[in-house]
Amino acid sequence: MISAAVTDEPDASDGEFVLTLRADEMVYRGLVEPERLDEIRRVAEQFSVAVTEDMAGLIDPGDPDDPIAAQFVPSGAELTTAAQELTDPIGDARWSPVPGIVHRYPDRVLLKPTLVCPVYCRFCFRREVVGKTPAMLDPAALERAYDYIRQRPEIWEVIVTGGDPFVLAPRRLAAIVETLDAISHLGVIRFHTRAPIVDPRRVTAALVTALTAEKAVWVVVHANHPRELTPAAKEAVTRLVRAGIPVLSQSVLLRGVNDDAAVLETLFRGLVAMRVKPYYLHHADLARGTAHFRTGIKAGQRLVRSLRGRVSGLCQPTYVLDIPGGYGKVPIARCAIHSDDASRGWTVEDSAGVRHSYLPDPDDPAR
């Protein structure tokens, strides 16, 4: 099935409803050569395919290495599964006690009300389930998910993800926020979404109003290349920020897309200039058919170290790896400080790789 993307119906206040392009339409628009249609169809039989008009408009069909096309246009390389790749690379199933909930960490849970996205990233770690049916939790399953949260006072934060929760109509988002806002032990409601970047017209006044709560509501957007930070995306983020909603970002380190210090510098500076704090830079997960996107960890560490000397701390996300099997995220940037047993002190490496001695107070027992 090529038309794998499904979207919730818009409310009357949503304005124009933004459609997505599927495989045949990508050929018609000139984003894919006609002779590749069979290849694209074979990929679409396994993984969902869709790209928004906004992202399609950024693609240069004449550039075989276009970083936007690499993220959204299917490739036959996705049909090759490397030995270490997994259908559930970060172990969601292991930590899913009821449908729609992932409870990996004691104080927070993921709530996945929908498995639909406005685009389907070719490197997605949930590519085995997004865009498939059922597209949404039914009302009974959603209520069971809420009950799971209500019954566990240790849960302090709910991360609404999917799929992309911003494909839901504002009235549905408002119902989710209202329900979570009424759970006394929660402190934070967080939304993870690609929509403000890839489908910014979804961020309407009605959607922003739907996020209003007594509790703190945060939004985390996803952007991987500076060309994604279009004027429309900036306007969408500005609507959130002006409503008092703090916005963070996450990016994935992708070979051929952003594995370059200058590209990452431009991306992170652009986000901060939009009042978005870079939060995570993910090492690409071991999702099936994504080996062509992954860099080496040492290469990622070199990039992150080079950024330390190029951009301010505001522009520095944490470089993380989600341990396969469901063991959680860990920072994997190279440590800059090492014990020096000879001097009973430390050796500290600066952003240029030059090492310096650091000797604490000899009377400090915690040195």
> pLDDT class for 18, splitting at 50, 70, 90?
very low
The more confidently predicted of residues 146 and 349 is 146
pTM value is 0.92
Query: CA 268 to CA 349: how far, in whole Å?
Result: 23
The residue whose two tokens read 């992708």 is 254
Task: Output the CA–CA distances (angstroms, integers) from residue 63 to 1, 60, 295, in the order listed.
Answer: 28, 6, 21
| Highest mean pLDDT: which range of 20-29, 179-188, 348-357 | 179-188
Determine contact, residues 243/203, Cβ cutoff 8 Å. Answer: no
274: amino acid identity, one letter: M
Digit-coded pLDDT (tens) for 241-291: 999 999 999 999 999 999 999 999 999 999 999 999 999 999 999 999 999
| Chain mean pLDDT for the chain | 91
Digit-coded pLDDT (tens) for 52-87: 999 999 999 999 999 999 999 999 999 999 999 999
> pLDDT class for 352, splitting at 50, 70, 90?
confident
Q: Looking at 9-23, 250-264, 271-285, 333-347, which range is the least confident one?
A: 9-23
Relative to beta strand 20-21, strand 51-52 is antiparallel
| Cα torsion angle, 86, 90, 91, 92, sign | negative
Determine contact, residues 342/300, Cβ cutoff 8 Å. Answer: no
Contacts of 204 (CB under 8 A, 6+ apart): 13, 14, 15, 170
60: tokens are 């240069």
- Catalytic positions are 104-105, 108, 117, 121, 124, 126, 285, 322, 329
Task: Give the residue-averaged pLDDT of 7-36.
Answer: 66
Residue 210 has pLDDT above 70, yes or no: yes
